Chain A
Amino acid sequence: MNKRTGHTVSDRRPEVIAILPNIRRFALSLTGSMADADDLMQATVERMLDRGLPDDAALLPYTLKTCRNLWIDEIRSQKVRQAATSSGDPLLSGSTTACGEQQALGEISLREVQAVLESMPEDQRAVLELVAVEGFSYRQAAEVLDIPIGTVMSRLARGRTTLAERLKMND
């Protein structure tokens, strides 16, 4: 039982389990690496279990905000130091693809997209993931990321145009 709110995450465990994929995808957008994303996801769940949920909190936005704050305040600097001495980690590994020649084409193109995403600034990846994948409104994304709505708009536009131009150049 959380001392501050009297409201436990365990009470809403099925809901938290249901949004684990959302947390993971968002964590991937922040960290740029699958392994780091899983670490961040775990840290987020631990933080939620420890601190509980405010009664009026919408679960997913609150959880992603917690995730983002953890990344900014605590984990990112550790990962940067680790990355300086490691070989790095692809944005996504072990993804499944369709079979046959379609698989070959799909894998090559998926890797191209992964490579471009990895090269993009983290703040553009994060806002792109929240809006394009999680379906957040600009206002919701702004609240999670603690930035003005105008900044959400500009980062999205830059991210999409960068992706479009770099992928077109690779054709």
Chain B
Amino acid sequence: MSGQADANDDAILSAYLDDELALDDARRLKDRLAREPALALRLEQMQSANLAARGVFEAADDLPLPQSVLDLLNENGADNPRATSDEGNVARFPARGLQRYFQTPVAMAASVALAAGFLAGDVLHRTQDADAPVAPSLYADAIPQRSELHDLLETGVSGTPRVLPSGASGRLMLSFENRDGDWCRQFELAQKTGSMQALACRRNDAWHMEALVYGAPVPAGGSYQAAASDSLPALDTAVDEQIGTGEALDLEEESRLISNGWRDPDK
């Protein structure tokens, strides 16, 4: 690909991140993302870099405002305001656009965002069949069927960690039926450079990301042991919203659904 073509693609990807592409252009880009793994990976990396930059600027919010400025506005030190985000730490996935989808604790934003972006790329881009095209983006309408993540969601048993071909560790944490009658699963992915917990729901025979929270990197020097992690509180809210008054599936119910390809014969 020529340098000019790269620059054009970068501008389009960047505008896609900001939800600034016209509908037709966004649709064409999504088609390309499904066909061109390299382009999708570049989008992931650009998003990670975007989040990393946010982390640096938002870290300034942790520092107290200068008293001299507050004095100008006749405020005393006890009223020193801090920037707070009302958006919480959980990302929701609207139909298109990627503006501020992923929220992380401010201090961790830079490293975790980078790690998670590359982590997501690994588990989505690596497949058993090296020649098969993949729909690569974590933010696309459906998790690609040839991906490690799809395989984990389809066949993973809750509570049992699994080492994925990419080297990441995956663990299903919870399975339940949501308010719309779709099967949903909370899961965790991790490697030593980053981790994330997320919620995916199955509809139209495909898994769709519903929420995601980045977690901390695994301490250096050790391989990841997924079983030790607790559910991240920020994701619990997303789970609670989806699960309504329902309950999590027990292992027997879950195993039955896995065996049936997540089709419930009783429905």
Contacts and interface: CB of A to CB of B under 8 A. Distances in A.
13 contacts: A13-B73, A37-B60, A45-B73, A95-B107, A97-B107, A102-B219, A110-B56, A113-B114, A133-B54, A137-B18, A156-B14, A157-B10, A163-B50
A161 B105 contact: no
A164 B73 contact: no
Taking residues whose C-beta sits less than 8 angstroms from the other chain, chain A's interface range is 35 or more
Given A25-B57, A156-B18, A45 B72 contact: yes
A100 B220 CA distance: 11
A164 B69 contact: no
Q: Which 5 residue pairs spanning A and B have beta carbons closest together?
A: A109-B111, A21-B83, A164-B49, A157-B14, A163-B49
Interface in B187-231: 216-217, 219-220
Given A21-B60, A102-B217, A128 B72 contact: no
Contacts of A22: 83
Interface in A97-129: 97-98, 100-106, 108-110, 112-114, 117, 128-129
Interface string A1-45: 000000000100100111011101100110000100110011001
Contacts of B119: none
A94 B63 CA distance: 7
B55 interface: yes
A73 B132 CA distance: 56
B36 interface: no
B110 interface: yes
A96 interface: yes
Given A156-B18, A160-B50, 16 more contacts: A21-B61, A24-B60, A28-B60, A42-B68, A42-B69, A45-B73, A49-B72, A102-B108, A106-B111, A108-B111, A113-B56, A113-B110, A138-B15, A138-B18, A153-B15, A164-B46
Given A49-B72, A102-B216, A160 B57 contact: no
Nearest to A164: B49
A80 interface: no
A54 interface: no
A158 B50 CA distance: 12
Given A113-B55, A114-B56, A160 B107 contact: no
B38 interface: no
A91 B60 CA distance: 10
Interface string B56-83: 1111111101101110111100010111
A163 B45 CA distance: 9
Given A20-B69, A42-B72, A153 B11 contact: yes
A108 B55 CA distance: 13
Given A41-B69, A42-B68, A161 B46 contact: yes
Which of A20, A96, A103 lies at the interface centre, i.e. has the most chain B CB atoms within 10 A of its CB? A20
Q: At the interface, is chain B mostly helix, strand, loop or mixed?
A: helix
Interface of B: 7, 10-11, 13-15, 17-18, 20, 42, 45-46, 48-50, 52-63, 65-66, 68-70, 72-75, 79, 81-83, 99-100, 105-112, 114, 216-217, 219-220
B57 A29 contact: yes
A148 interface: no
B60 A113 contact: no
Given A95-B107, A117-B53, A160 B46 contact: yes
B155 to A, nearest CB: 31
Nearest to A112: B110
Given A156-B14, A157-B13, A160-B46, A133 B107 contact: no
A105 B53 contact: no
Given A92-B60, A157-B13, A157-B14, A101 B107 contact: no
B111 A110 contact: yes
A92 B182 CA distance: 46
B114 A109 contact: yes
